[in-house]
Structure 1
Amino acid sequence: MQELKQYWVAQALEKDLGYPGDPDSVMSFKKVIDLDEREAFPEQEIDWLYNWKLQHYYIPTNCGGEFTSFEEFVAFVRVLSRRDQTTGIAFTTLFWSFLTWMAGTESQKEHLAKFIKDNHGAMCLGYSEKEHGSDLVGGSLTATKVPGGYLLNGEKWPINRATISGISYILAKTDPEGGGRCLSLFMVDKREINPDNYYNLPKILTHGIRGSDMSGIGFKDCFIPDWMLLGEEGAGLELALKGFQITRTLCAAFSQGAADTALRTTLNFALNRRIYEKTVFALPQPRKVLADAFLDILICDCETIGAARAFHVIPEQFSVLGAVVKYFVTSKLETMINDVSAVLGARFYMREEHDWGIFQKALRDNAIISVFDGSTVVNLHALILQFRQLAKYRGRRKLKTIEALKSRLELIFSLEKPVPTFEPKKLEIFGRGADDALQGLEIGIQKLEDLKNNPELDEKILYQLISLSNIVLEELNAQDHLIANSKFEYGHDQSPELFEIAKKYCTLHAASCCLHMWLYNRKILGDFFAKGEWLVLSLHRLLRTLRPLPYFISEVYLENVAQELVKLYREEKLFSIVPFQLAKKQTQEDKTDGTTSELQLQA
């Protein structure tokens, strides 16, 4: 497999964090379980990450940081989250800094970069309110203009890191008349406001991520200077929605990390637990459940990695892509973790015993990912509002636009191609009907046709890929017809039928991403990826949720997927289409050698 530069940071971080099964490693399962039991904030773990200078990778290079690629970003967040979502989420609230990189003045960017790099600064996002939930325009917190600044009044709740942070992004009503331009966004530096005029709300007891600082913040005639306003007055809602396009997509990395751990710890159990004179893994049903879970991870990889790269190529399409990824990946992996719990049996429910009880923590922690930064319903609704434009755009494609689409698809999905610099100012509230992954489906099918008679490919596998891809196209065309004839009105009162159509759209989108990812990377991601059996099974698995298809398409393919899963587990590599090396379990001899080396250095 070809080594990819964009995964170097994740691999270095993974190595330095150490094997999570070692109780003495930085973010070991034992340590994070202990913190969770005490509902304690992971202060030492976060300090370690700051000292490692991971915060630099949240700051773009043109602002003095190291961030260059969302693909790189997703990979290292996955490394954090496979150990502990509480720590991963608490540290990655730094991704709200993209609001400033997107809309801030040069002075604001400089202020924030210094705060993050030199002061180990953290931040929170104050959008939601207890009485209004996700209805941002209906919020009650106000910012009243006064000479030199604004007076804030009101509360934001529930907010992650509301208390343990130095900067709060506060969405406030600056126009009491309401409407789309009634909100403004402020970057409130708590070090520079009067502590008598703001207060923190108590920590909330939660089902998962129990050590997180889930609390709130309130203001009472709190003066903030003009320079804390981000963008123009009245632009708050637009900035908030564009910020969500970034963070909703990146939330997928949290779920991917949890999914890796849930599958890995369950596979560990299945390979070592003997029942009926066999290992659990040798039994057909548990074996299929685990192989299917691995396929779900690969499917979600294609969706997430493709989207991460697409930020750099087609940022204007993320009103669609962000919603698709946030809904599909987080809900798919949430279901996957629930599915594999059946293999663990009673142990999935235990807060100790197998691997310190890490499975039940991953299960609980991951349940929140599909909810925050826009729930499944919110994201499906965001898609519904763009259905008409998406269907119309597909029907208007011309040769000239198709040629440009081919070039973009290669840049998005070919992992060996460098991506352009991310330009956040190109984010759009509405994508105007463009969605390259699905609108390029026929291009992918033609590429499959062009591979006929290629001696490197199994003829049967290629035939199955062509057949399944054409079913994806049939379903997409049928969906366009459904959309064109559906009863549709803008607003919140959409029919249940439209929500089902939106779910189907996400499934077809994932299938298309899998196809593109294979076509552009089959020569660089290793033999298992190149052979394409996993892709046949993945397309079949996705399409079975949309129309009746045979339960099995190939037991041989499934067995080969199961063997690849075990191979990656034995080699301690990430369950991924880019299976990089994970931190290895140290033997007692390794530990002794390490201690001896340290003593020699000290001497």
Structure 2
Amino acid sequence: MTEAEAGVRRRITEVENAFGDPDDAANPVGFAALLAADERGELPAEAERRLDAVGFGAEFVPVALGGRLARADVLARVLRPVFRRDVALGFGYGITSLFAASAVWAAGSEGQRARLAELMRRGGRAGIVHHSLAHGNIMWQGELAARRDERGFVLSGRKDGVVNAERAGAFVVYARTGEGRGPASHSVLLLEPDEVARGGLRVLPRQLSTGMRGCRFAGLELQDCRLPAGALVGELGEGMRLALRTFQLNRSLVSSVVLGAADTVLRAAVRASDQEGGAGRRQRAVLASVFADLLLCDTMATAVLRSLHLVPDSGHLGAAAVKYLVPDLVREDLEELGTVIGSSGYRRDSAQGFLQKLLRDLPAAGLGHMGTAACQAVLIPQLPLLARRSWGVTQDPPDLLFADRQPLAPLAPESLAVAGGEDQLVAALLGAVRRLRDGGDTHTRHGDDATRAALVTVAEAFEAELAVLRGRFRTAPPDSRALAASAQWAALADRYILVAAAGAALGHWVRLDGTDPFLADPAWLVLALGRLAGRLGLRIPEAPPDCVERVYGEAVARCRTGRAYDLHGLAPDGHGRTRSAA
């Protein structure tokens, strides 16, 4: 284990130890307490106090500014223990502060960055005031406009549904500063309430929400609120470009951390089946398939997060794809797990209670229709160009894209591009198929002959699907607006995203060194890819019968030893058993 990896595990263990056993009914930050707080529409103060005690706010602040944020994939791993317990806590405590601060980390002045870093390191909150977006949820409704004069800016308007509006120490505002809907219509302003003239800013009464009920949503109303010229973040009219840059981190990070919440539900389902004397055949298939799905999602999320470091000119493609797919897979997986956990006898403090809370929380966290449409808008106009210039041309990506325990240069949000680049996940798919056909590498020799053959068959099916998509997108009309508005091209983009996900999973697997025998066994990958192929309607043979048994056996073993259902498979305390099911 490298020194860096040991440091990551210490940070994860620190958070786990701060929260203690989630199943202990007497634990004030256990599952029962968190579900009870959700019923009251609160975040437990004790949970936030414990995060403050471990300096958790520093996780969102770059190392250069005195924090701990260096790698996006590491941040996701450190956040998962919080999301494993409560999505609302993860958002309400800090991740929305990162979403706000990202624009300042990317383009803020030295003073802006230093002040915001100090606020967040000591546990303060930063609120994000998005620009208005058609068909968005409450977080996207309303808009602020800023008028520039010789003294700075005069900000007015109303914005509904700002997380932590009542207690934020700063707001990062995407305000309209230009006419029309062009790319230079908005600018970013750092609104620090201590500098605002009294009466210029009013926080409206809290708004209760269906999901993430513990989060503090409230509106902001500004009337001729004067800000100094130094409140401008970056350049005038740069707001949309900064949003497109920072959304890359937001999309891929949320897609990764939500797997921690899904881990809790899967663990509850496995435990329920194990305690009842063993799952039946159908239950074993469901549990094994959901476990395989989570591993596939982790390969995609991890590769995309690392791409923000390694290929910043291309990260926007993977970020849109992973945000489009992972929430959909997680939602369907949760519904399947509900059939194992059971629907009778709903209790607030039960596994069913946690499952129902999570199904409410995910749409409120921005993992619903609005996020899907935004991701399509990023991808669809670029796919014809990728089909002509990248697919089949771009070289197999570097191993560092998948070797998540290897060091990376610190994240540099200012370097992220918003268009162009090359398709790394499709390149990974084609590279993996070549390696599997060759069969000469030791990492392709794990598992039995039948499972390896099944993996080659399903991988080639995705390769063939890519060839079809390449031919279709090469004939696409040049008008990007017509593409984005077309149901036909949206449906083809859906198929492309499944191919990209297969590329991430295969790219990860062919680079494994065999250290973890379970991950090196292709059984989980055959199950996961088979489910993706089913979404595409591809005709492939059924997975070998014992694939389900091997993956289900690992799911039970991880449940009994407290190991996480992700690519690392660590016990929460890093070495021993910690129970972790709702």
* Among candidates 296, 313, 317, match of residue 320 of structure 1: 317
Q: Say what the alpha-carbon RMSD is for the aligned residues.
A: 2.7
Tell me how far 1:136 sits from its aligned partner: 12
- Once structures 1 and 2 are overlaid, which stretch shifts more, 234-243 or 157-166? 157-166
Matches within 5 A, 1:389-404: 389-394=385-390, 397=393, 402=395
Give yes or no for contact 1:351–1:360 (8 Å, CA) kept in 2: no
Give yes or no for contact 1:167–1:189 (8 Å, CA) kept in 2: yes
Residue 125 (structure 1) aligns with: 128
Residue 173 (structure 2) aligns with: 170
Tell me how far 1:547 sits from its aligned partner: 2.8
Matched residues, percent identical?
25
Tell me how far 1:357 sits from its aligned partner: 2.5
1:535 aligns with 2:544: no
* Among candidates 416, 427, 435, match of residue 439 of structure 1: 427
Give yes or no for contact 1:130–1:157 (8 Å, CA) kept in 2: no
Shift of the 132–333 alpha-carbon distance from structure 1 to 2, 3 Å rule, reads closer
Give 3-state SS (helix, strand or coil) of 2:178's partner.
coil
Residue 109 (structure 2) aligns with: 105
Tell me how far 1:201 sits from its aligned partner: 2.5
1:410 aligns with 2:399: yes
- Once structures 1 and 2 are overlaid, which stretch shifts more, 236-245 or 514-523? 514-523
In the alignment, residue 545 of structure 2 is paired with which amino acid?
E
Matches within 5 A, 1:126-141: 126-129=129-132, 133=136, 140-141=143-144
Residue 299 (structure 1) aligns with: 296
CA distance in 2, matches of 1:453, 1:102: 41
In the alignment, residue 15 of structure 1 is paired with which amino acid?
N
- Once structures 1 and 2 are overlaid, which stretch shifts more, 221-230 or 121-130? 121-130
Tell me how far 1:178 sits from its aligned partner: 5.0
Shift of the 30–568 alpha-carbon distance from structure 1 to 2, 3 Å rule, reads same
Give 3-state SS (helix, strand or coil) of 1:375's partner.
helix
CA distance in 1, matches of 2:10, 2:509: 22
Residue 183 (structure 1) aligns with: 186
Tell me how far 1:297 sits from its aligned partner: 0.6
Matches within 5 A, 1:39-438: 39-91=41-93, 92-96=95-99, 97-118=101-122, 120-129=123-132, 133=136, 140-176=143-179, 178-273=181-276, 279=277, 281-347=278-344, 350-352=346-348, 354-355=350-351, 357-371=353-367, 375-394=371-390, 397=393, 402=395, 406=396, 408-432=397-421, 434-438=422-426
Residue 16 (structure 1) aligns with: 18
Give yes or no for contact 1:128–1:134 (8 Å, CA) kept in 2: no
Give yes or no for contact 1:248–1:374 (8 Å, CA) kept in 2: no
Residue 593 (structure 1) aligns with: none
Residue 492 (structure 2) aligns with: 501
Tell me how far 1:390 sits from its aligned partner: 1.3
Structure 2 unaligned blocks of 5 or more: none
In the alignment, residue 430 of structure 1 is paired with which amino acid?
A
CA distance in 2, matches of 1:222, 1:376: 34
Shift of the 261–462 alpha-carbon distance from structure 1 to 2, 3 Å rule, reads same
TM-score (norm 2): 0.91
Shift of the 485–350 alpha-carbon distance from structure 1 to 2, 3 Å rule, reads same
Tell me how far 1:551 sits from its aligned partner: 7.0
Give 3-state SS (helix, strand or coil) of 1:386's partner.
helix
Residue 573 (structure 1) aligns with: 563
In the alignment, residue 45 of structure 2 is paired with which amino acid?
E
- Once structures 1 and 2 are overlaid, which stretch shifts more, 350-359 or 496-505? 350-359
Shift of the 136–87 alpha-carbon distance from structure 1 to 2, 3 Å rule, reads closer
Structure 1 unaligned blocks of 5 or more: 274-278, 588-603
Residue 553 (structure 1) aligns with: 543
CA distance in 2, matches of 1:503, 1:586: 39
Matches within 5 A, 1:456-535: 458-487=448-477, 489-491=479-481, 494-524=485-515, 526-535=516-525
Give 3-state SS (helix, strand or coil) of 1:569's partner.
helix
Give yes or no for contact 1:90–1:212 (8 Å, CA) kept in 2: yes
CA distance in 1, matches of 2:352, 2:281: 27
TM-score (norm 1): 0.88
CA distance in 2, matches of 1:36, 1:136: 20
CA distance in 2, matches of 1:443, 1:157: 47
Give yes or no for contact 2:392–2:427 (8 Å, CA) kept in 1: no
CA distance in 1, matches of 2:354, 2:183: 44
Give 3-state SS (helix, strand or coil) of 2:291's partner.
helix
Give yes or no for contact 2:342–2:352 (8 Å, CA) kept in 1: no
* Among candidates 37, 40, 43, match of residue 39 of structure 2: 37
Give yes or no for contact 2:160–2:220 (8 Å, CA) kept in 1: yes
CA distance in 1, matches of 2:203, 2:222: 9
In the alignment, residue 435 of structure 1 is paired with which amino acid?
D
CA distance in 2, matches of 1:522, 1:441: 18
Tell me how far 1:341 sits from its aligned partner: 0.9
